Structure 1
Amino acid sequence: MAMIQGERRDTFLSIRRALRGRCPNCGQGRLFATYLRQVDRCAVCGEAWGELRADDAPPWLTILIVGHLVAPLALALVRYGSMPDWAITALLVTVSLALCLLVLPRAKGLFLAAIWASRARSS
């Protein structure tokens, strides 16, 4: 059952649940039907998720996080590494891609939970 309208929503608990891919309301149902597509409604509590939109925020956060992790690695490999340039490039592309795929759904969950907890709605 959906949460009562006036009830307080714990933002940090919702975000922790969403980072695990779970419904920010109950923590039991799945938040995503596929890799990035959120479910229309939670199968457990019935909370509506289809109307929430995170738009460009998850890719922005993903780029911010991955960039801050990969840039120092790139600088260290170029300065101190003894690998050929093609190997450094291949490694950095692989690490960047893997991190993007790992971070993006969690970033979307984070923003969906924050939007839901603040009761903000898309227009």
Structure 2
Amino acid sequence: MTHPISNGERDLRSAVLRGLRGRCPSCGQAALFGRFLKPVDHCPACGQRWSGHQADDMPAYLVVLALGHILVPLLVATNMRFDPPMWLEMLMWPGLALILALLLIQPAKGAVIGFQWARRMHGFAGGR
């Protein structure tokens, strides 16, 4: 098992992009997640252990921030242009928020794990 960058500088951009895609931030060869939001214990391709991550609440904060920037302009524009009935809005906006949150949370968590790995934060301070 070889590691692309052993003790040198880790590329932040590629690590975050690999994490966004749900791939190992270290090598990009294997899946980062075994289940929806649970990272695999280690990468089967390069051996990088993922138990040291501390993504915790940051992915949720990023998703809430992104959803606010996506949904609020859509809501305002929809109300100004179409003036939909209240019952439709009460179904549409929470449903859309839930769907988008579920679609964005895993890529956000992968990106946070990739960021932590690239910057050697928390459990990633060692050689790998």
TM-score surpassing 0.5? yes
Gaps in structure 1 of 5+ consecutive residues = none
Equivalence for 2:100: 99
Residue aligning to 1:87: 88
Tell me, what secondary structure is at the counterpart of 1:51? coil
CA distance in structure 2 between the aligned counterparts of 1:87 and 1:8, rounded to whole angstroms: 52
33-42 or 85-94, which deviates more: 85-94
Matches of 2:2 and 2:40, distance apart in 1: 15
Q: What is the CA-CA distance between 1:61 and the residue it aligns to?
A: 0.2
**1:76 aligns to what?**
77
Name the CA distance, whole Å, in 2 between partners of 1:90 and 1:54.
31
Pairwise CA distance, 1:76: 1.8
How many Å separate the matches in 2 of 1:39 and 1:29? 10
Deviation at 1:8, TM superposition (A): 1.7
Give me the whole-angstrom Cα distance separating, in 2, the residues matched to 1:6 and 1:28: 19
Q: Deviations over 1:61-80 (max 9, x none)?
A: 00000111001111122222
Per the normalisation by structure 1, the TM-score is: 0.91
Report the Cα offset of residue 25 of structure 1.
0.7
Residue pair 1:23, 1:31 contacting (<8 A) in 2 also: yes
Q: Which runs of 5+ in 2 are unaligned?
A: 124-128
CA distance in 2: counterparts of 1:86 and 1:50, whole angstroms = 45
Deviation of the 1:2 alpha carbon: 6.1
Give the count of matched residue pairs.
Answer: 122
Separation in 1 of the partners of 2:60 and 2:122?
20
Residues of 2 paired with 1:77 and 1:27: CA distance?
Answer: 40
Amino acid at match of 1:8: E
Give the Å deviation of 1:55.
1.2
Deviations 1:10-68 (A, max 9, x none): 11011111111000111011101111011110011110002211111000000000111
Of the structure 1 ranges 82-91 and 102-111, higher mean CA displacement relative to structure 2 is found in: 82-91
TM-score with structure 2 length normalisation? Answer: 0.88
SS at match of 1:7: coil
Task: Tell me, yes or no, if the aligned pair for 1:40 and 1:51 is still in contact at 8 Å.
Answer: no
Identity %: 38
Taking the aligned partners of 2:74 and 2:105, their CA distance within structure 1 comes to 20
Q: 2:30 maps to which residue? A: 29
Equivalent-residue separation in structure 2 for 1:86 and 1:46 (angstroms): 52
